């Protein structure tokens, strides 16, 4: 109902809509309209009310609520259903629950804040309220489980495209799941899968983007290694606009992947890569080896030259660092 009221107010522009008109159009009581208007105001919407004229929307907050996201979607699959939280532990955790309850292909879970945001290898991820984009997409592809790791690369390309579209900022992708700007982390991606031998039940792609986080917002121990789009551009960036672009590009790449056509996606990942052709150290537990990142293979594994031999490195096994 609130989404419908918002749509009508937005369509009206600078014109007022009476409570009577809204009630008749939506087939509810004027009291119900008043309650929904109050709830929208409590959520940050600036709605003017004038006796005998009605209601007029003056400003919308930069929220990632289901109502706001649905109003800007340019996708058919991604965002088919939306679960929204103001605060949660992890959108990936919530997405798993949603998926097990039968959520459709393309459903997304969004939160304004994560208290237990996590990255690969159980690392924590800082996700302050209203400062970034923290969401997870539920995919139910028909390709084989061994192709699932490529979804992380697919998501990184989608995010890199979207950031450039919205801000003009050119970013780089560090294998396998980070998007960086001038060596500082801007985006983290965590892909998790539920599968059987030859069938994927669902894939969860969790994406965290530091959008409007100021340096002083960051914990001291990560201030020198993490950045945000507002720090880079020196201005606030619309989270809603950026999320819409991420979903758009992710859907386009997902459609390509569903046709079992990963090659163009991997080629584009290579163009964004800041890992390839670099000397790196490969960290696996307490073991550290040194080599040169040469390429990724058709499965998205990193090919590293170590002592003259090419070693295939899987994302789930290791971390890599510049040498």
The first and second tokens of residue 258, run together, are 């569903």
Distance of CA 261 to the CA centre of its chain: 23
Strands 184-196 and 279-284: unpaired
Which neighbouring-strand residues pair with 54?
50
Q: Quick check: do 66-272 and 278-320 share a fold?
A: no
Is residue 110 within 8 A of residue 69, CB to CB? The reply is yes
- CATH number, domain 1-59, options 6.10.140.120, 3.40.640.10, 3.40.50.720, 1.10.10.10: 1.10.10.10
Fold of 278-320: SH3 type barrels. (2.30.30)
Binding-site residue set for biotin: 90-92, 114, 185
Q: What is the reported pLDDT for 30? A: 92
Strands 82-85 and 108-111: parallel
Rounded to whole angstroms, the Cα distance separating 146 from 163 reads 29
Rounded to whole angstroms, the Cα distance separating 293 from 273 reads 11
Is residue 270 within 8 A of residue 303, CB to CB? The reply is no
Q: What is the reported pLDDT for 316? A: 65
Kindly state the greatest CA–CA separation across the chain.
81
Is 132 strand, coil or helix?
strand
Quick count: other Cβ atoms within 10 Å of Cβ 9?
A: 23
Q: What is the reported pLDDT for 231? A: 96
Is residue 277 within 8 A of residue 270, CB to CB? The reply is no
Would you call 168 exposed, middle or buried from its count of C-beta atoms within 10 A (0-12, 13-18, 19+)? Answer: exposed
Strands 199-210 and 309-313: unpaired
Q: Identify the DSSP state of 120.
A: G
Superfamily of segment(s) 66-272 = Bira Bifunctional Protein; Domain 2 (3.30.930.10)
Q: Identify the DSSP state of 251.
A: H
Q: What is the reported pLDDT for 120? A: 45
CB neighbour burial string for 23-52, b if at least 16 within 10 angstroms, e if fewer: beeeebeeebbeebbeebeeeebebeeeee
Q: Identify the DSSP state of 117.
A: -
CA angle 296, 297, 303 (to 5 degrees): 55
Q: Where are the alpha helices (DSSP H) in 13-111?
A: 19-26, 30-42, 66-72, 91-100
The first and second tokens of residue 11, run together, are 């369509």
Rounded to whole angstroms, the Cα distance separating 316 from 191 reads 10
So where are the chain's domains? 1-59, 66-272, 278-320
The per-residue pLDDT for range 154-213, each reduced to its tens digit, is 999 999 999 999 999 999 999 988 999 999 999 999 999 999 988 999 999 999 999 999
The pTM score is 0.86
Give the chain's residues under pLDDT 50.
120-122
Binding-site residue set: 90-92, 114, 185
- Nearest Cα residue to 57 out of 69, 72, 45, 70: 45
């Amino acid at each position: 109902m609130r989404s419908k009221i918002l749509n009508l107010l937005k369509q009206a522009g600078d014109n007022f809509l009476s409570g009577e008109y809204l009630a008749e159009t939506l087939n509810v009581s004027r009291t119900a309209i008043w309650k929904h208007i109050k709830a929208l105001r409590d959520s940050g919407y600036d709605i003017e009310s004038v006796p005998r004229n009605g209601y007029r929307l003056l400003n919308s907050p930069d929220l990632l609520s289901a109502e706001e996201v649905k109003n800007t979607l340019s996708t058919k699959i991604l965002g088919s259903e939306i679960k929204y939280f103001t605060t949660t532990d992890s959108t990936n955790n919530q997405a798993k629950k949603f998926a097990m309850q039968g959520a459709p292909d393309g459903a997304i879970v969004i939160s304004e804040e994560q208290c237990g945001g996590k990255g690969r290898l159980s690392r924590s991820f800082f996700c302050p309220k209203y400062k970034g984009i923290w969401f997870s997409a539920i995919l139910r592809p028909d390709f084989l489980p061994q192709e699932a790791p490529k979804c992380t690369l697919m998501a990184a390309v989608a995010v890199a495209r979207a950031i450039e579209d919205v801000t003009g900022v050119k970013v780089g992708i560090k294998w396998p799941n980070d998007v960086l700007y001038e060596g500082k982390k801007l985006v983290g991606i965590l892909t998790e899968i539920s599968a059987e031998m030859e069938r994927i039940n669902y894939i969860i792609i969790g994406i965290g983007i530091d959008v409007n986080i100021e340096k002083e917002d960051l914990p001291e121990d990560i201030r020198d290694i993490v950045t945000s789009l507002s720090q880079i551009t020196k201005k606030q960036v619309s989270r809603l606009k950026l999320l819409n672009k991420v979903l758009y590009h992710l859907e386009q790449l997902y459609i390509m992947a569903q046709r079992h056509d990963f090659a163009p996606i991997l080629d584009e990942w290579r163009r964004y890569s800041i890992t390839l052709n670099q000397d790196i150290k490969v960290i696996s537990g307490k073991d550290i080896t040194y080599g040169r990142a040469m390429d990724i293979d058709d499965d998205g594994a990193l090919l590293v030259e170590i002592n003259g031999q090419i070693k295939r490195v899987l994302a789930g096994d290791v971390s890599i660092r510049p040498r």
